[in-house]
């Protein structure tokens, strides 16, 4: 079958939500256009900015880095720095790091690496057994804190992450089910971080299905580590991932629909539910909903092991 877009090359990639099949080159162009449209829509970048791209060594952040470099190329005096966090997950993150290194060399981007071991004094895999927090909670909260601290140190104006459509739809649904509408509203691109100490995070791939991100990474021959993290299956998120994939089989537009609901309702939810929620953590001064921020709460629990 021929590509529905160019009519020339062989159609290889099926897009059920669009009802078509496209070739590799057209897929890359379609994804690039969608990412660039999203970037312009929310006005994420301007000349003179320092942009930090959180690079994990997986496909998503590889594609995000590659496309954002292309987008930013014509903007004057923009600096891009890739930032990788080594949480300490043997056989996984070390392999991701090697791919990240290949990518930044290929793309000629400045690269910084920070680790849990240096910053917190432990590797993730050495503490997950000793705490009631799920591995992904410890990992996600402490990684976010580290990325923000390093981005601040680097004087970054914005942090780019590789979250794709599937990630965002899962996050919306998870917060919805927990009835955490404040947290849900924070996923909206225009809802500002709760404090000046948080560097704004942007997600250029938020409208690109995960499957297409992988295809684009392969089409562009980007180096990335393809295997999932060994802790991924145990997370609550993986349940929502399966649920949404099943839903999508019946309703090909389901994930886009969920994102659109967020885009429409996010600011309203923020106005209604985010008010007065922010306090400063007693220990580190970062935004917190109780006395301690989530990161300090986790670090304290780990200290008491
Ligand atoms: S799957 Fe969980 S433990 Fe693994 S890198 Fe992601 S957040 Fe961390
Ligand atoms: Zn084509
Ligand atoms: Zn704190």
pLDDT at 147: 97
User: What residues form DSSP beta bridges with 82?
Assistant: 53, 111
Query: Which residues in the chain land under pLDDT 70?
Result: 276-277
Query: What ligand is nearest to the CA atom of residue 85?
Result: 1
Q: What does each C-alpha distance from 289 to 48, 147, 172, 200, 264 come to in angstroms?
A: 34, 20, 20, 19, 25
Q: Which atom of ligand 1 is nearest to the CA of 139?
A: 8
Contact 127, 138 (CB under 8 A): yes
pLDDT at 303: 86
Structure tokens at 9: 């090359």
Output the pTM of the full model. 0.96
Q: What does each C-alpha distance from 258 to 234, 242, 298, 300 come to in angstroms?
A: 24, 15, 31, 36
Residues whose CB is less than 8 angstroms from the CB of residue 231 and which lie 6 or more positions away in sequence, other chains included: 89, 128, 135, 136, 139
Burial 36-60 (b: 16+ CB within 10 A, else e): eebbeebebbeeebbbbbbbbbbbb
Residues whose CB is less than 8 angstroms from the CB of residue 133 and which lie 6 or more positions away in sequence, other chains included: 298, 301
Compute the distance from residue 30 Cα to the ligand 1 centre, in Å: 29
pLDDT at 290: 87
CA dihedral 250, 256, 259, 263 (to 10 degrees): -140
Compute the distance from residue 15 Cα to the ligand 2 centre, in Å: 13
In what helix (H) or strand (E) does residue 295 lie, and over which residues does it extend?
helix 294-303
Looking at ligand 1, which residue's alpha carbon is closest to its atom 7? 136
How far is residue 142 CA from its own chain's centroid?
Answer: 15
Name the residue of 58, 59, 87, 241 whose CB sits within 8 Å of the most ligand 1 atoms, as the mutation to test its pocket: 87
- Under DSSP, the state recorded for 203 is -
Helix, strand, coil percent content, the chain, rounded in steps of 5: 50, 10, 35
Q: Which atom of ligand 1 is nearest to the CA of 232?
A: 1
Give CATH for domain 42-273: 3.40.50.620
pLDDT at 236: 87
pLDDT at 279: 84
Query: What ligand is nearest to the CA atom of residue 1?
Result: 2
Per-domain residue ranges of the chain: 42-273
- Which protein residues touch ligand 1 with a CB less than 6 Å away? 87, 135-136, 139-140, 229, 231-232, 235
Q: What does each C-alpha distance from 264 to 45, 100, 267, 269 come to in angstroms?
A: 22, 35, 8, 10
Compute the distance from residue 67 Cα to the ligand 2 centre, in Å: 19
pLDDT at 277: 58
pLDDT at 98: 98
């Amino acid at each position: 079958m021929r590509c529905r877009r160019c009519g020339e090359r062989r159609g290889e990639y099926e897009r059920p939500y669009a009802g078509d099949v496209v070739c590799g080159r057209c897929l890359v162009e379609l994804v690039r256009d969608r990412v660039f449209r999203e970037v312009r829509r929310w006005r994420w970048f301007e000349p003179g900015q320092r942009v930090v791209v959180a690079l994990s060594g997986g496909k998503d952040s590889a594609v995000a880095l590659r496309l954002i470099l292309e987008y930013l190329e014509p903007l004057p005096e923009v600096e891009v720095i890739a930032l990788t966090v080594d949480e300490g997950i043997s056989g996984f993150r070390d392999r991701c790091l090697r791919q990240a290194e290949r990518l930044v060399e290929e793309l000629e981007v400045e690269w910084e690496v920070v680790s849990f071991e240096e910053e917190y004094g432990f590797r993730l895999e050495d503490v997950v057994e000793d705490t009631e927090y799920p591995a992904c909670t410890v990992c996600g909260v402490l990684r976010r804190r580290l990325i923000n601290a390093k981005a601040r140190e680097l004087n970054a104006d914005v942090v780019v992450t590789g979250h794709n459509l599937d990630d965002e739809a899962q996050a919306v649904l998870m917060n919805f089910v927990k009835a955490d509408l404040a947290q849900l509203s924070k996923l909206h691109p225009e809802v500002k971080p709760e404090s000046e100490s948080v560097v704004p995070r942007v997600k250029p791939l938020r409208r690109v299905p995960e499957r297409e991100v992988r295809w684009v990474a392969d089409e562009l021959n980007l180096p990335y580590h393809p295997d999932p993290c060994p802790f991924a299956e145990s997370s609550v998120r993986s349940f929502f991932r399966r649920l949404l994939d099943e839903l999508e089989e019946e309703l090909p537009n389901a994930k886009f629909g969920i994102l659109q609901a967020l885009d429409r309702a996010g600011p309203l939810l923020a106005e209604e539910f985010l008010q007065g929620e922010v306090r400063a953590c007693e220990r580190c001064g970062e935004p917190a909903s109780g006395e301690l921020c989530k990161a300090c709460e986790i670090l304290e629990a780990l200290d008491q092991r």
